[in-house]
Amino acid sequence: MLRAKTFVAGLLILILATACSSETVVLSPDGSIELQFKLVNDQPFYQVKKDGAVLVTDSQLGFEIQNQSAIRDNLQIIDVQQSTFDETWSQPWGEVKNIRNHYNGLVVTLQEKSNLQRIVKLNFRVFDDGLGFRYEFPEQENLKDFVITNELTAFNMWSDLKAWWIPAYGDEIDSEFLFSQNNLSEIGQKVHTPFTMEAGDSLFVSIHEAALVDYAGMTLNPVGKELKCDLVPWSTGEKVKTSAPMKTPWRTIQIAKSAGDLITSYLVLNLNEPNKLQDLGYVKPEKYNGIWWGMHLNKYTWKKGPNHGAASPVVKQYIDFAAANGLSGVLVEGWNEGWDYDWSLGRFNFTTPYPDFDLADLSQYAQEHNVGLIGHHETGGNIENYESQLPEAFAFYQKHGVHSVKTGYVTRQPSGEFHQGQYMVRHYQRVVEMAAAHQIALDIHEPVKATGLRRTYPNLMTREGARGTEYEAWSAGNPPEHTVILPFTRCLAGPLDYTPGIFDILIEERPENRVHTTLAKQLALYVTIYSPLQMAADLPENYEGQPAFQFIRDVPTDWEETRVLNAKIGDYLTIVRKDRNSDDWYLGSATDEQAKELSIDLGFLLPNRKYQAEIYADAADADMESNPTAIEITSSTVTATDQLELKLAPGGGQAIRFHLLE
């Protein structure tokens, strides 16, 4: 199903010229969003309206350039092109199969009236669910190699909106924070994107970026109601080193009438280039377990010694468990030389296994059990060390039949480069391409933020870039509201490897730590937090004899359709997804620390058909604090005309499989 058309739509365009300002307007296909571009005193500005009301008031565009004047002043419009585009494309894997890419486009070419006469184009795409814009510098005489010292893009919000945020420049690993909620004027520090705002019950806005390639990541600096683009610098202070011709990433503004519609907006993906990879046979959504949680609990060590996690007998035990339970991947961390030193030194060797880890033997054992090993490259943030071994590191895994690798960047030493700066953006890109050349898919921890590049490079499957389950093992943990904020913030960027599925909620090995959910909510996370790779994170022994583990065995990782049935950011949400490979639907519902009752309509099921609803609910007396593992597993026959009442305990959740009966 592919429909595409592009033409110049003269009727949609309105150019008003006055003595000091000229305006160009473009509407979204349904007419609800209006983008206005204008020059005011020869400087570029844009404005956005939703349903006729101003949402982003006049906001600055432009750049400061090293050793040159800013590209902002003395500009004139020399060309205006308008187009419309409508295409439906399919994701090789994803949270939804088919995505409609439908927008009205506007490209305004600006040129300085005198002096250097530099040219910059502004490319706007206005969709029904928001808009994106990027700057393009064509090849030109007076702009060759140049250094951007500041991007002047601003997002001047119409009112002092409520927002959810994590700090930018916060620590060594960049984005592993709990969210705060404040009005814009109260934030007072630079924040990461996606940055999500709410205006009452019927308007939600999220600012992010798409297609971040060879440029600096954008953070936002809130000043009053205005959010100023703040590009993450090099350690030496420059923002972007570049040369014309070039295109910046897209600045994106997603606009929705309900919080759930932000989750099912695919605008960021639509602004990325189509798939560039030939063979995708090795790129497979899957569930995995791994030699991982045991290290975070100090049961095993990454480094060699008596409790070495990656020792072959332990790995075989995990392979056996995976094979018996429908998990097709086994992650092994701590398998290679280098873990005996301080990680931040990054002295890892990616082709030298510890002597007790026999990769050839394990790889064959895994294959015999229809399981694939998932490799691990912890770099410790030492990019020089990693890059010097890059081709060999991936060739080594490829030779042993490993088609998926988790990477990690736990510090930013010794280079001192930020995870979101241009230096690291280039590095992550190099790794994605190197992995693809060796038929390897990636799960990146401590990553650069996702900006939809998975469309172009589908081997870039998932990543962390959030405070995940690991924090439950060795810190104060993640309060219940964290997982009902993530789907509306971090997860708008792309898949999140949150590593759910902890059944030993009180964590026997670490009595001072615990997981901050009920057991039923651990199951719900497989549906509410999308990732094509989902971990069954707990120790295999904690799943033995647990009827609730059946949901993890059953839940798919590749979806045809996704719908949000109800949502309130920071409070609760319910998502249903249809399996891509069967007629079954799955539901995940989660709440914060408050108990919640939700009534849901099963109208998403096929009409006039019967489904077996396998329900994993918080028991009547379940409570995250006092009785977290009380779960009630029931089964009943339902149809599309039924309603279900979900009762979620404080810190609780519910998971349901709707299995189509013949």
Catalytic residues: 470
Question: Is 286 or 470 the residue whose CB approaches ligand NOJ more closely?
Answer: 470
Q: How many residues bind ligand NOJ (CB under 6 A)?
A: 8
Quick one: which of 449, 577, 466, 587 has its CA closest to 93? 577
Residues 449-508 that bind ligand NOJ (CB under 6 A): 464, 470
Say what the alpha-carbon torsion angle 397, 399, 402, 407 is, to the nearest 10 degrees.
Answer: 20
Question: CB of residue 540 vs ligand NOJ: minimum separation in angstroms?
Answer: 17
Contacts with Ca ion, 14-53, as mask; x by CB under 5 A: ----------------------------------------
Q: Choosing among ligand NOJ, Ca ion, none, which partner's interface includes residue 408 (Cβ < 5 to 8 Å by kind)?
A: ligand NOJ
Residues 317-336 that bind ligand NOJ (CB under 6 A): 333
Beta carbons of 415 and 380 less than 8 angstroms apart:
no
Among 54, 280, 395, 410, binds ligand NOJ (CB under 6 A): 410
Geometric angle at alpha carbon 53, from 181 and 263, rounded to 5°: 45
Question: CB of residue 445 vs ligand NOJ: minimum separation in angstroms?
Answer: 4
Q: How many residues bind Ca ion (CB under 5 A)?
A: 1
State the angle between helix axes of 359-368 and 312-324 in degrees (0 to 180), rounded to the nearest 10: 20
Quick one: which of 219, 212, 239, 216 has its CA closest to 166? 219
CA dist., res. 620 & res. 617, Å (int): 9
Question: Is 296 or 455 the residue whose CB approaches Ca ion more closely?
Answer: 296
Contacts with ligand NOJ, 347-386, as mask; x by CB under 6 A: -------------------------------x--------
Give me the long-range contacts of 302-311 (CB less than 8 A, separation at least 24): 302/333, 302/334, 302/339, 303/334, 303/339, 303/340, 304/339, 304/340, 304/354, 304/355, 304/356, 308/334, 308/354, 308/356, 309/333, 309/334, 310/334, 310/335, 310/353, 310/354, 310/356, 310/357, 311/356, 311/357
Question: CB of residue 18 vs ligand NOJ: minimum separation in angstroms?
Answer: 55
Contacts with ligand NOJ, 73-92, as mask; x by CB under 6 A: --------------------
Question: Is 122 or 173 the residue whose CB approaches ligand NOJ more closely?
Answer: 173
CA dist., res. 273 & res. 212, Å (int): 11
CA dist., res. 588 & res. 658, Å (int): 12
Geometric angle at alpha carbon 331, from 330 and 333, rounded to 5°: 145
Question: What does DSSP assign to residue 381?
Answer: T
Q: Choosing among Ca ion, ligand NOJ, none, which partner's interface includes residue 333 (Cβ < 5 to 8 Å by kind)?
A: ligand NOJ
Question: Is 241 or 445 the residue whose CB approaches Ca ion more closely?
Answer: 445
CA dist., res. 313 & res. 374, Å (int): 17
Per CB under 5 A, which region of 103-111, 419-427, 440-448, 592-600 contacts Ca ion? 440-448
Question: Is 121 or 445 the residue whose CB approaches Ca ion more closely?
Answer: 445
Question: Is 137 or 292 the residue whose CB approaches ligand NOJ more closely?
Answer: 292
408 is an interface residue for ligand NOJ by CB under 6 A: yes
CA dist., res. 353 & res. 350, Å (int): 8
Question: CB of residue 253 vs ligand NOJ: minimum separation in angstroms?
Answer: 30
Instruction: Write out the residues near Ca ion by the rule CB under 5 A.
Output: 445
Instruction: Write out the residues near ligand NOJ by the rule CB under 6 A.
Output: 292, 333, 378, 408, 410, 445, 464, 470
